[in-house]
Amino acid sequence: MGIYVSKIAKSALKLDLLTNFRSYVGKYFSHPYLKALMEFPVIFLGASPKDIPAMYSLMNYGGYALGTWYPMGGFYELILAMKKVGEKHGVKYHFGHAVEKIVTKNNSAQAIIVDGKEIMFDAIIASSDYHHSETLLTQIKKNYSEAYWETRTFAPSCLIYYLGFNTKIPNLKHHT
């Protein structure tokens, strides 16, 4: 096992993933159009490719080498499947309510306040962005101050709609 870990570590160092993304792309592509194409995916991280670590080139690798896969019926089918698995294991979901506060006791999140009522849980998963999740905690449990967050640049989000048609549309090319 140690031999494989050593080999993987040495290979990872050769990738030079700690440089910036723009420099990394520039080692492999010289044409400005190809550079722009390869840098495009990281704009969704909210910064310029010159400010993003080259480690994010692994996203490009996944897309180009492994392909892009979509669940049959769309991504919502994945959500429905995860919900079904959760319900099978006793998970109860609460939709359409804003969480007002995350209640911590004995150094762990144990309840949330919704509509002014405290609801206890065995586990709490905060899937909102980090800053918003922190606003739901008491000051003593926060890792960062508001002053810290005011100095941050937040990444823009992206909403993409995939439309499917069960008929061929004349003269319509892929990705138009």
Name the burial class of residue 45, with classes exposed (0-12), middle (13-18) and buried (19+) by CB atoms within 10 angstroms of its CB.
Answer: middle
Residue 129 makes CB contacts below 8 A (sequence gap 6+) with 154
Q: Which two tokens stand for residue 169?
A: 């549309």
pLDDT for residue 144? 92
pLDDT tens per residue, range 88-131:
999 888 888 889 999 998 888 999 999 999 999 888 888 888 89
Q: Which two tokens stand for residue 167?
A: 């008929």
SS3 of residue 102 by DSSP: strand
| Alpha carbons 157 and 135: distance in angstroms, whole number | 19
pLDDT tens per residue, range 48-91:
899 888 888 887 888 888 887 888 888 889 889 999 999 999 98
Amino acid at 128: S
